[in-house]
Structure 1
């Protein structure tokens, strides 16, 4: 791919820089004629992700201009990747393909392929650059899980077998309060929450009361959460994707550490992995980070996070996240078979707010709606970061191709 790369290296990076494309697939649909506009701030009063396709490129890289966010400051001394632009031998429906052809077919805003400390490919579409911050969507859930792990290793949280009400008095006596942190990390609380039922009924209800902060009957983060208080299954017996469960954990984290999630992330992770840019995290009406989504970061900083995970929490000899925590977070115990790939989802399994890939090799992913994904293979230290404005299933055969070509040694 070296022949299609432009020479716009970021400061401190090697000479061969990222590929920058001013357009992308279905660019008219995604707002090219209007300069990829940022959505009208009035859309922020609507629940969920209210952005029409023409606004997504702009909104997904300028979320802090639409919603209130908290800054996660970059490292004092940024760490740089090496670069080794490399051809990717990719076959698509029997035809020889390439990374650039993959981009031409898929509404990807940014893509990095890295192996350990070396970037093999970095590219952007729709006029995005390495200076933009890209929204995580639900990849933030996995970041919340990492912070819980750090709090456990520091003794601020004693055990994942503690219940949420152990740390948050406002959860006392409620169904979420009586749920173990382990079951919340596994999204297996058994508490009813309709993530997608009835046109995202409960997710929208949570948005209105917690994020926007208005309702005739509920106010604040904790009360917004405990309005969902009906148990429909024993905890720890079934997987059911529910964005509210990391929100419960986010409140536990605040009470256990005495710090905002952004401050804790900055201190424990972002400053430790040589991040080059400030990140941001959307906050709700009461000032809690929305633990289930809406973190935004530079693409290479997502790759740094992926590298940390590929090294099982170690960064150049410094153990940032407890190794055993990450192994536990990405391994299904025999007693938790319902979380296995093919059972938690059609193809994927689930760990501690991380998706588990099928097969005997330990691989996992952070996944967010509209095609945000970080894939990690610890054995080879291969990492892929992709941000997008629409989901595409081609990402999985593409990752499989990368594994075949680069996941050796």
Structure 2
């Protein structure tokens, strides 16, 4: 049976498909341009694969064991911007993009941060003042800040197992009438700003807002505001719907090295090294990331009341980024279903990237074991003392279920 638009997310087809999205589905290019590439100099360090880790079930293992057991397609480990380790499965390569799923949300969030820093986007402004087409939807009264932090009152169930959930219905529309046509029909079920609930529709509205205030499509925004200035090495691409709209919640396909560069950009507060008097170039305004890292009582209180407190006890969500207390300090996460992850630790100065093809969209044990493995890698590389085990319960990876037309459902 051939890999196609109906089965590309299903095992065993996904192991090939995630490395060859452009051969299956419509995409738009995200160009790296002709500027300098941010170097990832190789550094001598201990072998991260041999680091010991305690799995979520209490069993001892090595990082190599965890990666082997969690359908890893590729991984990259950086410390202080240096390349410690990288590996690619049989279908992959350092220069081949892989589906990143909902890591896309964090990249779109960074685009919003750049637009806000340049004065083009007011995060306190009502969404419908920017995208008038949403005036009759549940987003009436919501601000850009509400959708950035997934705190609108719109009804949208992110249930991958229910074919009638909103996330599955949205998938149907991508191959028929398009993403934006679906968003205008969503309704509200509670007041805006009072809850945190992970919903892919929020990221899609955010992408629409970014396109409208800039007058530029998302592929070009990512290219000119993030990919080129951060020093990406390779072009990326983004999936689009039947009318050519980029899928802002889960369409990005990129190389592991360039996702590591994006993680390093987040670790370094939005700046990259540059020759000159200052020695750095600002890509994302530093305030954007400082605000995201600086958890407050409001962000914690709404997170506690959400289902994600089970998967990330002590965590919070801000600016399309996840945060959780790790074994060696707080960690920033960019997550996608089927096992896509960027793990950023400020205390250990490490960035770990993992591509995967989990058989199911959500594999709580795989997620928790991977988090523990990357925590342990950071601790071993930095020599830091652990701060206590915060991972008390198995978790759920957030992402996006996707149907690519009228066939069987896939996930993205």
Contact 2:269 2:290 in 1 (8 A): yes
Hey, what does 1:226 align to over in structure 2? 184
**Residues 363 and 326 of structure 1: is their aligned pair in 2 closer, same or farther, counting only changes over 3 Å?**
same
1:385 maps onto 2:348 in alignment: no
Hey, what does 2:151 align to over in structure 1? 188
CA distance in 2, matches of 1:321, 1:379: 21
1:125 maps onto 2:89 in alignment: yes
Q: How does 1:260-271 map to 2 (within 5 A)?
A: 260-271=217-228
Hey, what does 1:330 align to over in structure 2? 293
1:179 maps onto 2:142 in alignment: yes
Question: Match for 2:205 among 238, 241, 248?
Answer: 248
Contact 1:268 1:320 in 2 (8 A): yes
Deviation at 1:306, TM superposition (A): 0.5
CA distance in 1, matches of 2:298, 2:375: 29
Instruction: Give 5+ residue unaligned stretches, structure 1.
Output: 1-36, 45-49, 215-219
Hey, what does 2:404 align to over in structure 1? none
Question: Match for 1:90 among 42, 52, 57?
Answer: 52
How many residues align? The count is 359
Q: Matched residue of 2:241: which SS? A: coil
Hey, what does 2:38 align to over in structure 1? 79
CA distance in 2, matches of 1:323, 1:232: 35
1:57 maps onto 2:15 in alignment: yes
TM-score with structure 2 setting the length: 0.81
Hey, what does 1:67 align to over in structure 2? 25
Contact 2:75 2:355 in 1 (8 A): yes
CA distance in 1, matches of 2:244, 2:39: 33
Question: Match for 2:324 among 357, 362, 382?
Answer: 357
Hey, what does 1:313 align to over in structure 2? 270
Deviation at 1:362, TM superposition (A): 3.6
Higher relative contact order (CA 8 A, sep 6+): 2
Indicate the RMSD between aligned Cα atoms, in angstroms: 2.3
> What whole-Å deviation, never above 9, does each CA across 1:319-373 have from its counterpart, x for those lacking one?
1001110121233332333344785431242111111112694421000001100
Deviation at 1:213, TM superposition (A): 2.3
CA distance in 2, matches of 1:314, 1:200: 43
1:166 maps onto 2:166 in alignment: no
Contact 1:237 1:338 in 2 (8 A): no
Contact 1:330 1:354 in 2 (8 A): no
Which moves more between the two structures, 189-198 or 99-108? 99-108
Deviation at 1:97, TM superposition (A): 4.9
CA distance in 2, matches of 1:274, 1:315: 8
Instruction: Give 5+ residue unaligned stretches, structure 2.
Output: 274-279, 385-412
TM-score with structure 1 setting the length: 0.82
CA distance in 2, matches of 1:149, 1:408: 33
Hey, what does 1:395 align to over in structure 2? 370
Contact 2:40 2:81 in 1 (8 A): yes
